[in-house]
Each structure stands twice: as C-alpha cells, then as structure tokens.
Structure 1
C-alpha cells in the first residue's frame, strides 16, 4: 500500500500539532463570535482555521516552504469569496464586514499554524479577540458622538420617484439641478418599481453637504413634472 510506504511518524505528528493548534485557536475566536450570535460563529471559524492549516501543511510536506507561500495566497483568495457571502447590503448600509474580516483572520491563524508558526498563530489569535472585544467600548463611545453632517465624509444619494415615461428627460434635468447646486452626481442608476413608476438613484460626488441646501434641492426636484417624490439620504457605513 502506498500509505505504508509514505507514512512517516514525525512529520505526521507535526501535522497533528499544526491542526490541533489551528482547532484550538479557531475555537477561541469562534467562541467569541458565537457568544455574540454572529453569522459566522464557532464552527465556521474553526473550519476556516483548520482548513487553512491543512492546505498549508500539505503544501509544506509535499513541496516545501517556497511553494507553500503560493498555497497561502490561494487560501487568502478563497476565504475572500467565503467572506463575501457573509456581507449583506440593506439599503445604503452594509452589514457583515466584521464577520468577513474575522473569517479572514481565522484563515491567517490557520496558515500560521500550518506553517509550524504556532507562536505566531497564538499572537494573531490574541489580537483578533482583542479587536472584537476590547475595542467594542471605544466603538460604542464614538458612535454616541453626534454626527456633524457637514464635516463627516459620507456617501450621499438622491432618490427620485417618477413616471417611467419621463425618465429620459428627468435624468438629465435632475443631474443638471444637482450640478448647479454644486453637488454633481458621480453615478446614476434607474430602478423599476412597477405600476409605471421607477426610481432614479443619484450618488453624489461630494462627501460633505449642507442639509439645508440638499433639502432645497429635493424640494425643487419634487416640483418637476412627472416626479412623485424626491428625497436624499446619507450613509457613513463602510
């Protein structure tokens, strides 16, 4: 049997140590995520860490450290796709970025363990847990600070609900109104709403606006023929 010919006890023991370390460190990171009821909890973080460790350890055993670095780059890319599945967009807000970043870090922990850098894996684990726990009070304190809309960098969108037949004309007219108000639109998107209605969503180039000026522009847009509603909103979520 090929297994009997290739099996070596000490390299196998080294793999056991690497995967065990990845399992333990992944459990520590995942337990904190599970406690906070996040999308990617205990099992997901453990599997990501162990999987990354297994791939890197396999590459180390077959091709050595040089080629293992290429496998690590593939692990990073693969976990990137996995993390993308945890990200959800709700209107102008994006959720799940912290979960995706934690999965990425779990892969880094596993890669370190798979490369026999157990101490490095432990250090990364400490920093990941600290980032998800110790920084939480600071985040809450910052979020309680009143938002200065004129000084903050944010994404602003103007939404215009109008009759579909008027869309070609209104796209140009609304863009011109925003241009004259010194708030040019960098992107224009049309969303169908049914019943002969559609929305024109204009994302502004500006990262800071005056609320009174935007309210005035919205009122002017709402008075245009064919427009049923016009509003603007901001988002500071990355």
Structure 2
C-alpha cells in the first residue's frame, strides 16, 4: 500500500511532469503581463473592467488552451502508465479554443449597457474578447504574435479616440422631448428646429408615445459635421424655445 501511494505521488513530481508544469507556469506569467498591459488602459479611464479582469481572462484562456496540449501528462501521467489508448488521451485544442471564446463572449455581453439611446461598454467588451484571444495565442505558444496583438490593441484603445478626432465625423445625440397636454408637435417642426442648430433628424429613429395626453418624442439627430453641430449644453438651453415643451433629455447616442 505504501509503495502504491509513493509511486503515484512521485508520478506527479517526475522530471517530465515538472518540465510540463514549468512551461505552463511560464505561459501563465506571459498571459498575466499581457492581460495587465491591456487592462491598464481601461482602468486608467475609469472603466468597470480593469487590470484584474483582463489579467484573469487572459490567464484563464491561456491555461485552458495549454493544458489541452499536454494530455500525456494529465493526472501525473498515470493514464499513460496504465497503457490507455492514445485516442483517449488526445486533446483537441480547437474545441477548447472555441469553448473559451464562446464563454468569454457571454462575459462581454454583460458589460454592454444600453440606457435610452446611449450605448456604452462596446469597446470594453471587444477588448475583453481580445484579451481572451491573446491568452489563446500565448497558450499555443505564439508569444510574439500575442505581444504584438497586445501592443496594437492597447495602442488602439489609447490613441484611437484621438485619431477619430482628426477625421471627419457626424456626432449623434439622442433626444427625448415631452410636450404639455394640448401642445402636440410635428416631425416637420422638430426637423426644422434641429436643422437650424446644425443637426439632421436621422430617418427611422422617430418614436412617438402618448401618455396621459402628453406627446413624447424620441429620436436621434446627427450633426452636419463635428464643427457645425451645437454643443450639448448649448442645445439644451435653446430647447426651451420649443412651444409647449414640458421637459426633455439629451444624451450622446454613441459611446
């Protein structure tokens, strides 16, 4: 009995097992560093998902993939010693990768928030999924590709907004207007109003609700260009000029 226990314990500490563990640990450390690098940008900008989230996603993805590459070392190599058929031991990393990316996709869906016409968290969700892909690359041993992808992703998140600022764009604003009883408005009036302040009413975005005799309009207006559209605060001040307006809400439609 003692010999049996000793032999099985030593199977987990053989040279081959220790070498496999060393490679796995190195892979996890690389994934940790790259995940922290990617997560720092989100943490710096005050996002909910920060360095720890990205590091955990990256390491977990790398661990799941690299473990599938060492089936002969599972359970201390005891399956090999028991002469199990090689087909039983064959791991399929492609299935693991598919499962990892699908699972992380559910996590990404949880960070996307929609409030009215404002959508936030898209960049965070995409970058978490990228962190998972980086972990997969590290897990299969493509360290250089993982490092390059990390640098490209971090650079894009840090400087992509600046690049967008130099390029022509048409900022969008989500608008909610509620009118007093007996003071209905019309699309023609609203379209003319926003046009005088540098915006166009986006087609197909108009929704009209009637609650207790009050008309409530929801729509998105898009600036003629980023310089022509009035700032959000200025647009809020002039909304009081609309006849019969009871209250309103303005928000950036994209984030």
Q: TM-score, normalising length from structure 2?
A: 0.59
Q: 1:42 to 1:189 in 2, by over 3 A?
A: same
Query: Which residue is 1:38 aligned to?
Result: 47
Deviation at 1:127, TM superposition (A): 1.5
**Bigger Rg, which one:** 2
Q: What is the aligned-residue RMSD (CA, Å)?
A: 4.6
> Residue 121 in 1 paired to residue 146 in 2?
yes
> Which sections of structure 1, spanning at least 5 residues, go unmatched?
none
Cα displacement (A) at 1:202? 4.0
Q: 1:195 to 1:60 in 2, by over 3 A?
A: farther
User: How has the CA–CA distance of structure 1 residues 185 and 98 changed in structure 2, closer, same or farther, with 3 Å as cutoff?
Assistant: closer
> How far is the alpha carbon of 1:30 from its aligned partner?
2.6
Q: Deviations over 1:58-114 (max 9, x none)?
A: 3333444xx322322332222222223323345533333332222122111111111
Distance 2:45 2:250 in 1: 30
**Secondary structure of 1:94's partner?**
strand
**Whole-angstrom distance in 2 between the partners of 1:54 and 1:94:** 33
TM-score, normalised by the number of residues in structure 1: 0.62
Structure-to-structure mapping, 1:36-115, within 5 angstroms? 36-62=45-71, 63-64=90-91, 67-115=92-140
What displacement does 1:49 show? 0.4
In structure 2, list runs of 5 or more residues that go unmatched: 72-89, 192-199, 230-234
The question of 1:186 aligning with 2:199 is answered no
Residue 161 of structure 1 pairs with residue 178 of structure 2 = yes
**Paired residue for 1:15?**
24
CA contact (8 A) 2:39 2:50 kept: yes
